[in-house]
Chain A
Amino acid sequence: MRFLALLKKELRECLPWLLIAAIAFLVLGGLALRLMIQSGAPFRYPYHFSPGSTVNRYLLRASPLLSTTGVWLFFISIVLGLALGIRQFFIPHFSRTWGFTIHRSINKLTILCAKLFVAAIAFIISLGTVWLLIYWYASLPEILPFLPEPRLFIEGWILIAMGFTVYLGTALAGLSKARWYTTKVFPLAFVLVIIATTVSQWKLSTAFAVMIIGSLILLSQIIHTFLNREF
């Protein structure tokens, strides 16, 4: 019951951000897809080749029809990660409410678990569900000239996971007692390295491995700092 109460509290605090992210992605991502379909661009090939000519290799590259939606997913996922991290770990520090949360009759680890659990749920509900809806819509017959590859769906989840890594980095930065111009910003710099490494992977398994290892590195430090820090 105590854990549930904590969950409700965290969910209540994160709900505005969760809703904003879901609506923003649904409107912007969905609109990007809808506008592209209405423009008829997916049903036209952009280049024409002359007989007897060498074909420029770069003209044969084809971007997926959900690419603009992907950009919105990435951007909103990163912003949601930052917003949730700031809401859960920076705001209690500025508003001096850590004391109220920590001195509940529940151990520190449960408090941390409630925060992490709500953040994960926020990503799954607000972005994951909407992404599932958009992908399902794009997979309907006669919407697009080709069915989107199943790999795209997984890539979408990798972009969502990137947002969660940003959340972990922000959380660790919020917990750090160092000054902002010293090692306090290092977790966020580390997240940039993780994202850059993930983005340059071409195998899904390697990309997931990078994300998981990076997240575990951050998570272990979050647990250690949270359990040992005086609030």
Chain B
Amino acid sequence: MKLKRISKYIATPAGIFTTLLIFLFVLVFLQFFVTEIVILSLYKTRTEQSSGPDDPNSKMHRSAKNFLPDGTIHLVYVPDKYRYADKVYRKEQIFDANHNLLWQGLHKDNPYKYLSWPGWSRGFTANSMKEIRMITPMFSQTLEIPVNSQQRKVEQVWRYAPDMDIFVGYRFKTGIIGYAGSTGFTKSKDKARPFGRFENCYAWCPKDSFSPTLLWQTNRCIYQINFEKQRVDLLSQDHKDPIGRIRTHMWGHFSLDPEQFHISKKYRPIIHYSTKDGKHHLIMREPQQKLTITVPEDWKADSVKLTATQKNIFLKHQGGDTKLSAAPPGFSKQWNEWWRDYRSKPHKRWVELYKVDNQGNLELLNRFDWISPAQPVSNTLDPRLQIKGYVTGASPLAYDLAWSLFGDKLYRLAHQGHGISREYAGITGRYRPGNSIFNWILTVGMMGVAFWHGFSRRTCWGKFILWLVLVGLFNLAGLLTYLALNHTTVIKCSACGRRRGLEKLDCVRCGAELPLPQRRELDLLFKT
């Protein structure tokens, strides 16, 4: 019987947890369903509201700010109807800094050749790696790099082994042929050193090869791995600070697009990245060169772009007087209010072009300032947010509590995490009540119902209060859990005439014991 008692103390909380979890999922499903239906029904009216007149300030703000290699700035405006058109058929208007029209026509006939800038390397990220390693019914996957001959026949395959953080090479039917790690290619597994915490990977085939080459970024280094030539090159230095996302320009592949092909002849292949200490690093080829550039502390890492022509190195910086919201985007009323306030006021913005010398010093070539106009904002809250206010009325207060205690961790998990943990964090963020009065009223109401239901059925005060706290923390889901696990029959007390539960021998109101059955004539047992 000891086990019976022990199992009670473990099984009861386990049962509460199971039931509560399922009710929370059902609630989230309903909240999601209602919100999506409302968003869909409001979509048409919102799109009609969002289109506004093209005033000159708005035109200037929406124009691309392009620089010529001599530092001259041009504003390239694409009218709304061509905004999503194919590049070849897109009509453009080009203005100078004083907003005088210089040229207009199809994009392909544009007589000006602007500086070209690198884009984010959209490779295989650490999250993508985690996703393919998930233990699905089809088992986890990995990366596999083939080495093909000129006749396009697969000669070797190099598979990434995440547990060892090295590549293992195979030849069909021959078995393992070698290993590739941070120190290079080797025949021995013991000599292969791990690369380090994986961050990003970008692949292309060199001009003379049918086999992919990898740009392999870890949290501190960047490697280039050529499996065909069996070479691992450490491109960056081994940084003490973690390195951010990398941008590449003309690195590795060339494009068949004539415009891009023309550009590729004039530019040096580069890799640009920044480190946490605020420094920007440039790795260049043709000829090989590495450069570290120190920029003012108030420049955000994402606002800086670097490019290198055959003659010069340029830096573009975009700035503004915007102060970011303290609240995480999209999830709260506080952020929404910041966003409305931000949109309702004009803001100062600027773009600067610098020339970078071989020591990494900056020389300002040109700067253009403009005002981004205020956007029309309705006096009322976003209708979707209003609906969210009602929908989250039934959300648990525990979500708010979790976000106030572990807000940073949950925010990071919801935005940079992966898999189901990301979904769980996202749900608590999206449907958190956000201190709304409606939610408080509902919570108190739920506690009231639980109190009314449980008062006559209570067996001890401690348990009763704990249930009330649980209902208070989890709102509707808490009340449903309470009812699912505590609903018992009540009878009218024979002494005081009020409702009482059957779980306890004495009445919770008057203390009278449960009535015994009436003795009857034929009850021989009691008569003797």
Contacts and interface: CB of A to CB of B under 8 A. Distances in A.
Interface of A: 43-45, 47-55, 57, 60-64, 66-68, 70-71, 73-75, 109, 141-142, 145-147, 149, 151-152, 155-156, 158-159, 178, 182-183, 186-187, 189-190, 193, 196-202, 204, 207, 216-218, 220-221, 223-225, 227-228
A151 B140 contact: yes
A221 B402 CA distance: 27
Secondary structure at chain A's binding surface: helix, strand, loop or mixed? helix
A202 B124 contact: no
A193 B148 contact: no
Nearest to A65: B139
Interface string B122-155: 1110001011111111111111111010001010
Interface residues of B, number: 68
B57 interface: no
Contact of A70 (B8, B10, B139, B173): B139
B11 A221 contact: yes
Contacts of B175: 141, 147
Interface of B: 3-4, 7-8, 10-12, 14-15, 17-19, 21-22, 25, 122-124, 128, 130-146, 148, 152, 154, 157, 159, 161, 163, 170, 172-173, 175, 201-212, 252-254, 418-421, 484-485
Nearest to B12: A224
B11 A61 contact: no
Contact of B18 (A44, A190, A204): A190
Given A70-B138, A155-B140, A186-B18, 14 more contacts: A49-B205, A51-B209, A52-B204, A54-B252, A57-B124, A61-B132, A61-B143, A147-B175, A182-B484, A189-B22, A190-B21, A199-B135, A224-B10, A228-B4
Contacts, number: 178
10 contacts: A51-B208, A61-B141, A66-B139, A141-B175, A147-B175, A199-B136, A200-B419, A202-B134, A220-B10, A223-B3
Given A54-B204, A55-B204, A145-B170, A223 B139 contact: no
Nearest to B213: A55
A48 B210 contact: yes
A61 B174 CA distance: 22
Contact of A62 (B12, B128, B142, B209): B142
Secondary structure at chain B's binding surface: helix, strand, loop or mixed? mixed
Nearest to A195: B137
A70 B7 CA distance: 36
Contacts of A145: 157, 170, 172-173
B19 A152 contact: no
B7 A187 contact: no
Contacts of B485: 183
A74 B137 contact: yes
Contact of B212 (A44, A55, A64, A200): A55
- Residue of A51, A155, A156, A197 with most partner-chain B CB within 10 A: A51
Contacts of A70: 137-139
A44 B212 CA distance: 17
Contacts of A49: 148, 205, 210-212
A186 B212 contact: no
A55 B170 contact: no
A67 B141 CA distance: 9
Given A75-B137, A202-B135, A207-B135, A51 B143 contact: no
- Residue of A66, A202, A216 with most partner-chain B CB within 10 A: A202
Contact of A51 (B21, B136, B201, B207): B207
A139 to B, nearest CB: 12
A21 B124 CA distance: 39
Nearest to A159: B137
- Residue of A63, A147, A158, A178 with most partner-chain B CB within 10 A: A63
Contacts of B128: 57
B484 A201 contact: no
Given A51-B210, A61-B143, A217-B18, A223 B7 contact: yes
B144 A221 contact: no
Contact of B135 (A54, A57, A155, A221): A155
A158 B209 CA distance: 41
Contacts of B18: 186-187, 190, 217-218, 221
A18 to B, nearest CB: 21
Contact of A198 (B130, B135, B159, B254): B135
A57 B252 CA distance: 15
Nearest to B123: A57
B138 to A, nearest CB: 4
Contact of A223 (B11, B137, B420): B11
Given A55-B203, A64-B141, A149-B161, A221 B25 contact: no
B170 A146 contact: yes
- Residue of A48, A50, A60 with most partner-chain B CB within 10 A: A60
Given A196-B420, A224-B8, A62 B135 contact: no
Contacts of A67: 138-139
Nearest to B147: A45
Contact of A52 (B17, B148, B201, B206): B206
Contact of A227 (B7, B25, B159, B163): B7
A51 B175 CA distance: 27
Nearest to B254: A52
Contact of A193 (B15, B21, B138, B254): B21
